[in-house]
Amino acid sequence: MKKIITDSINLSDFDLKDSDLISLDERTVVVTKWNWDYGLAHKFQRASLTVVQETPNLRIIICCNHPEVLTNGRGLQKPRKGEVLELVEFKPEEHRSLPFPLYQIERGGGLTFHHPGQFIFYPIVKLNPKSLSLSLMIDQIFDFTIDILNSWGVKNLDHENKLLGIWQGNKKLASMGIAIEKLTTFHGMALNLLENPNMKKALASLNPCGLNAQTYTSVEALAEIPSNPLESFREQFLVRIKNEWK
């Protein structure tokens, strides 16, 4: 499967090398790239989307982080019947001067942020109503993440909040925004592992995901974490993917 990707995509166009791709199993290729320019990562997702759509059984999963950047999706989460969600819509025209680049993208959700202290997971995966529906995929990604963080000493996490994400009480650690084309997913989860003072300062006047910026926390703020948290989390996360995504 890796050769199908390298035959179809010129990796150097996206600042990637052959060694950045590994085969996790007979159908899953993992791409890992730290401090990856967001624009290049987004273009690579689009290129990967085409390859996955055209190749039976292939899955491409991307583990990465990005320099400081803001992204804005198709719109804030809509309330279910009877719910009231007090969210603040981001209006780009009211924020002409932003401290970091802003990308308008296809995923669901509103304004969000990325920085080097996040673990980003982008699954380029064909959905199957019988084996991997969208809701099941999201639940599993969150469950895998919570299990790993529990083993690190971060307790009382859940993803049953009416607002999508991983929460500890009223504090949010991870966000999820998915796009789907031809039953194939892209975009994904951002997990706040480390604090980022520059991003925290920038968010003070914004409302990521429609929320007060103070809603967001990090794993670092809640527990002692491994010396290389991005790699440690990635390794444990891929074990769960390999064992449970058949």
- Residue bearing tokens 């919570």: 146
Q: Which residues, listed in sequence order, are joined to residue 60 by a DSSP beta bridge?
A: 29, 124
Task: Please state the domain count of the chain.
Answer: 1
Length of the chain in terms of residues written: 246
pLDDT of residue 14: 98
CB atoms within 10 A of CB 115: 21
Rounded to the nearest 10°, the torsion over CA 123, 129, 133, 135 is 160
pLDDT of residue 95: 67
Residues with Cβ within 8 Å of residue 43, at least 6 apart in sequence = 13, 14
Residues of the chain with pLDDT under 50: none
DSSP string, 90-156: --GGG-S--SS-EEE-SSSEEEEEE-TTEEEEEEE-B-BTTTB-HHHHHHHHHHHHHHHHHHTT--S
- Residue bearing tokens 């951002």: 190
Among 167, 151, 128, residue whose Cα is nearest residue 224: 151
* Contact in structure between 135 and 146 (CB atoms under 8 Å): no
Report the alpha-carbon distance of residue 186 to residue 202 in Å, rounded. 27
Q: Given the residues 141, 157, 209, 222, select the one marked as catalytic.
A: 209
pTM of the complete model beyond 0.85: yes
pLDDT of residue 85: 65
Report the alpha-carbon distance of residue 139 to residue 181 in Å, rounded. 20
Tell me the residue ranges of DSSP E strands in the chain: 21-23, 28-33, 59-64, 69-75, 102-104, 109-114, 118-124, 166-168, 171-181, 184-192
Report the alpha-carbon distance of residue 123 to residue 120 in Å, rounded. 10
pLDDT digits (tens, 9 = 90+) for 98-152: 889 999 999 988 899 999 999 999 999 999 888 889 999 999 999 999 999 999 9
| Centroid of chain to Cα 159 | 15
CB atoms within 10 A of CB 119: 23
Among 109, 99, 93, 118, residue whose Cα is nearest residue 41: 118
* Domain boundaries, position 118: 2-244
Q: Helix (H, G, I), strand (E, B), or coil: what is residue 196?
A: coil
| CATH number of domain containing 28 | 3.30.930.10
Long-range contacts of 77-82 (CB under 8 A, 24+ apart): 77/108, 77/109, 77/110, 77/163, 77/164, 77/209, 77/210, 80/162
Task: Reply yes or no on whether 63 is catalytic.
Answer: no
pLDDT of residue 162: 80
